[in-house]
Amino acid sequence: MKKYYGKFGGQFVPNEVKIALDEVEKAFLKLKNDKEFKQELQYLLKTYVGRPTPLYHAKNLSKHYKHEIYLKREDLTHTGAHKINNALAQALIAKKMNKKKIIAETGAGQHGLATATAAALLGLECEIFMGATDVQRQALNVYKMELLGAKVNAITKGRKTLSDAVDEALNFWVKNTKDVFYVVGSAVGPYPYPQIVTHFQSIIGKECKVQLKKINQKVDYIVAATGGGSNAAGIFHAFLKDKKVKLIGVEAAGLGKDTPYHAATLTKGKIGIIHGMQTKVLQNDQGEISHTFSISAGLDYPGIGPLHAYLQESKRANYYAINDDECINALKLLCKKEGIIPAIESSHALAYLDKLCPSLKKKSTIVVNLSGRGDKDMQSVYEYKKGQIYG
């Protein structure tokens, strides 16, 4: 399997990590075509995760935007977001490799939750690395992970957020590779992780393609939010060769385009190395990695999966940034029009409809990947503009 997407990706890691990655690569290449593994995963995706998720024709929103809008309902999966597709698949690989324990990094807690869920289901030990600041901010998710039997390790180094948690998880992994598998949560990190995550999330696009065909509907645009880029990679993948389908990734611009704290890696970043991969990175003129902050903790990552850096460079996909105000307006619009409360992350993708739809000359069909449900975000939405969340 190729280690790079164009010039993006690769394995920028010390030798001990490379040895661990080689073992993961070998297991993945063997299992991804293994009949028994595929059947077992498919069975769990159907009976436990709730796949296939519906492709929903949002008629009220369509009327509002004067174009046909469809939503791919990843919000209806068990645990409420697409992350479970990948966490469960990697946990199953760990089990087949006879590992006793899985570990994961988490920022907002959603990947930690998905990993703890998969560990409980498959009878694996689980330890989640989470920055101490995030542990405080996400107390409810921490409690959920503990209920599910996971140990949550609060990292007090550095800025005590996601990047520090990744470093600590890697350190722990290299020292314990015999018993431990590292479940990476987005289409990021050194090879083979971006490829593994994309492979397991690509079920979203595959289903979507079949569902569109069933209703005899051609699609013009596919829109997805990008943090590290896993749900976008997942829905884009089946359509990459179909050049008529335009692919749009939407990043978080935080408070707005003039603030330094945004997560708009592709629209503002430069080529650099972060967490073992070469990709686009938000950095200052000295090449130091920037700290991100948007209302959406799930999109707060200063890097981006290498596939997206490549799709942007090759112009196969386009990436835009949406600010917090635009995101919250889109969230509220979907609630009112369709009775669906979307995740803040997914609301960035929805917000792009406001820009896209008025610019289209002919009536178009647009699929938005509704990556997750908004229950986890109600406090942030409630407090938004009360001056509390940026305090």
Ligand X SMILES: *Cc1c(COP(=O)(O)O)cnc(C)c1O
| Residues found near ligand X in the complex (CB under 6 A) | 81, 83, 110, 186, 225-232, 298-299, 343, 345-346, 371-372
| H or E element at residue 247 | strand 246-252
CB of 321 to ligand X, least distance (A): 14
Q: Is 1 exposed, middle or buried (0-12, 13-18, 19+ CB in 10 A)?
A: exposed
Helix (H, G, I), strand (E, B) or coil at 359: helix
The amino acid at residue 136 is: Q
Token representation of residue 102: 């899985």
Nearer to ligand X, 97 or 341 (CB): 341
Distance set, CA 149 to CA 80, 117, 155, 236 (Å): 19, 9, 19, 34
83 is catalytic: yes
CA-to-CA distance for 363 and 365, rounded, in angstroms?
A: 7
Nearer to ligand X, 68 or 345 (CB): 345
Nearer to ligand X, 127 or 345 (CB): 345
What are the backbone dihedrals phi and psi of residue 169, each rounded to the nearest 5 degrees, phi first? -60, -40
CA-to-CA distance for 129 and 152, rounded, in angstroms?
A: 6
The amino acid at residue 204 is: I
CB of 362 to ligand X, least distance (A): 30
Q: How many Cα atoms within 13 Å fall on the side-chain side of residue 294?
A: 32
Cβ-closest residue to ligand X?
Answer: 372
Across the strands, what pairs with 272? Answer: 279
**Residue 83: which of 316, 306, 345, 295 has the closest Cα?**
345
Nearer to ligand X, 364 or 371 (CB): 371
CB of 331 to ligand X, least distance (A): 12
Write down the catalytic residue from 83, 99, 144, 280: 83
CB of 385 to ligand X, least distance (A): 22
CB of 190 to ligand X, least distance (A): 16
Nearer to ligand X, 17 or 299 (CB): 299
Token representation of residue 309: 């850096």
Decide if 252 contacts 262 (C-beta within 8 A). Answer: yes
Across the strands, what pairs with 5? Answer: 8
Put the strands of the sheet holding 151-155 in their side by side order. 151-155, 125-131, 101-106, 180-182
Nearer to ligand X, 13 or 184 (CB): 184
Q: Where are the alpha helices (DSSP H) in 339-388?
A: 344-359, 378-383
Write down the catalytic residue from 74, 105, 207, 345: 105
**Residue 10: which of 249, 275, 223, 256 has the closest Cα?**
275
371 is catalytic: yes
CB of 135 to ligand X, least distance (A): 17
Nearer to ligand X, 10 or 305 (CB): 305
Write down the catalytic residue from 251, 371, 376, 380: 371
Provide the annotated active-site residues.
83, 105, 371
